[in-house]
Structure 1
Amino acid sequence: MLDKFRIAKQEEIEVLRKEFMEGRIPAMYEGTRPGFAEAIRAKGPGAVIAEFKPASPSKGVLREHANPLDFVEAYANNGAAAMSVLTEPQYFKGHPDYLFMCADRGLPLLRKDFIVDPLQVAMTASSPASAVLLIARMFGSSHELREMVQLAEAAGLEPVTEVFDEADLDSAREAGASIIQVNNRDLNTLTTTLDISRRLMDKQDGELWISASGVDSREQIEEMAGLGFDAVLIGTSLMLADDPGAMLARLTGVDA
């Protein structure tokens, strides 16, 4: 599955390289970037990162004509600590412009995409994103991942390193990752199980930890918080909800 995503990014990367060779280097974003880890710790453990993703490879289109402005408003008003924004167009129907559209409500933004090239980090740094997702197993070695972690940090971004298993976690640690996101999805079957988070949390060692995929109830959030997760990332269930704001309020407990 990740190989398919990597192939899908090659055209974008080639365009970025051509623009770079022609001297069109993106300027660094000059606005405020709210602290991503800081916001999570302020609401954690069990803080909610609410996601905007119009589609997914496993479920197809989640919401027709989804407007990120509506979602950032609902998320900001109902207890989200941060917002994850899909910018990948082919499989998730995202767009980098969504980061700019969501920047005015004060939530730290995580750019969620398949980032494998330094120029993609440069493009992220030219946006209002506070954090950028790096998927550990999309890199050939922990050395390559370390270079991207350090590049993101040098650009003023907080790298969120995603892992699926113990080998990924070892690579993330060797790369110096300080924010670990555990993906509970099996990439071969596209099924999810929180057992991945339950198992890996035993290896927590001082990093900020996020459990992603498969969390859609207050009880599951409380369980993940009890295990030690600083945050959970919730996307699909919010995108499918009749009233995403009301659902988020139940998940965060602000309607209690």
Structure 2
Amino acid sequence: MLDKFVRAKQPEIELLETLQKEGCFPAPLSGPRRSFLDSLRQQGAGAVIAEYKRASPSRGDIAPHLRADDVACAYAEAGAGAVSILTEQQYFRGSMSFLQKAERCGLPMLRKDFIFHELQVRQTAASPASAVLLIARMLRVEQLAHLAALCEEYGLTPVTEVFDAEDLSRARRAGAHVIQVNNRDLATLTTSLDNSRELSQSKQDGEFWISASGIFHGSEIDEMADCGFDAVLVGTSLMEGGDPGAALRTLLAGRRA
């Protein structure tokens, strides 16, 4: 599955390489970025990163008619701590332009994509994003460490995604301290919170953990917080009904007082 996504990104990498050779690569964003971690920490355990996702390989089109800026602002009004923006084009119908459009929501944004080349990090640095997703399974330890360091150089928070204990070990060897546990099985594309339940027992002091995928109820956010997760990432369940802001309000209303 991940190899398929890497192949799909090759034309984009070639375009970025051409821009660099021609001296046309966009400059990094000037000025400070919104702090991804500070915004989530202010909300306490179980803070929600709400995702703008137009489509996915497992679901096909989800809500291609909804605009990034409208959804991001609705999330902000409903109580999200941050926004995740899918920028992968072929399988998720995403775009880098969504980051600029969603900026007006006022929340820090996570660029969610398949990042494996330093030019992709530099591309993100030219956007108003606050954080970048790095998938441990896609990268050698030294690659992961290099890309994470480059993110930090540009003021971007590297969020390292893991699927199992082996990924977690690789992430830690690369120095990762923001860990996102993906609850999706890449072979079947099904989700189970058992993945977060099991891996949470390995959380170490000083790490910031996010549980991603498979969260549909406020009680599940509370459970993930009880397991030690600092935040959760929710996407499909918010987008599929056509009113993401209302869906997030309902989700949060289901949490215990």
Which amino acid in structure 2 is aligned with residue 40 of structure 1? L
1:14-73 residue CA offsets vs partner (Å, 9 max, x unmatched): 111111111122211125421001111111200000000100000000013121121011
Q: Which residue of 1 aligns with 2:171?
A: 172
Question: Mapping of 1:58-207 within 5 angstroms?
Answer: 58-139=58-139, 141-206=140-205, 207=207
1:242 CA drift (Å): 3.9
Q: Which amino acid aligns with 1:68?
A: A
Secondary structure, counterpart of 1:89 in structure 2:
coil
Task: Verify the 8 A CA contact 2:33 2:129 in the aligned structure 1.
Answer: yes
Q: Deviations over 1:208-236 (max 9, x none)?
A: 00000000110100100111100000000
TM-superposition CA deviations, 1:108-155 (whole Å, max 9, x none):
00000000100000000000000000000111x211110111011111
The answer to whether structure 1 residue 245 and structure 2 residue 245 are counterparts is yes
Alignment match, 1:4 = 4
Q: Which moved more, 1:32-41 or 1:201-210?
A: 32-41
SS of 1:92's partner is: coil
CA distance in 1: counterparts of 2:131 and 2:254, whole angstroms: 25
AA matched with 2:164: D
Stretches of structure 1 that go unaligned for 5 or more consecutive residues are: none
Q: Is the 8 A contact 2:70 2:102 kept in 1?
A: no
- Contact in 1 for aligned 2:217/2:254 (Cα 8 Å): no
RMSD: 1.4
Contact 1:32/1:128 (CA < 8 Å) preserved in 2? no
Structure 2 residue identity aligned to 1:45: A
What is the DSSP-based 3-state SS (H/G/I as helix, E as strand, rest coil) of the residue aligned with 2:190?
Answer: coil
TM-score when normalising by structure 1: 0.97
Give yes or no for contact 2:69–2:105 (8 Å, CA) kept in 1.
Answer: no
What CA distance in whole angstroms lies between the structure 2 residues aligned with 1:62 and 1:213?
15
Percent identity between matched residues is 55
Tell me if structure 2 keeps the 8 A contact 1:31–1:128. Answer: no
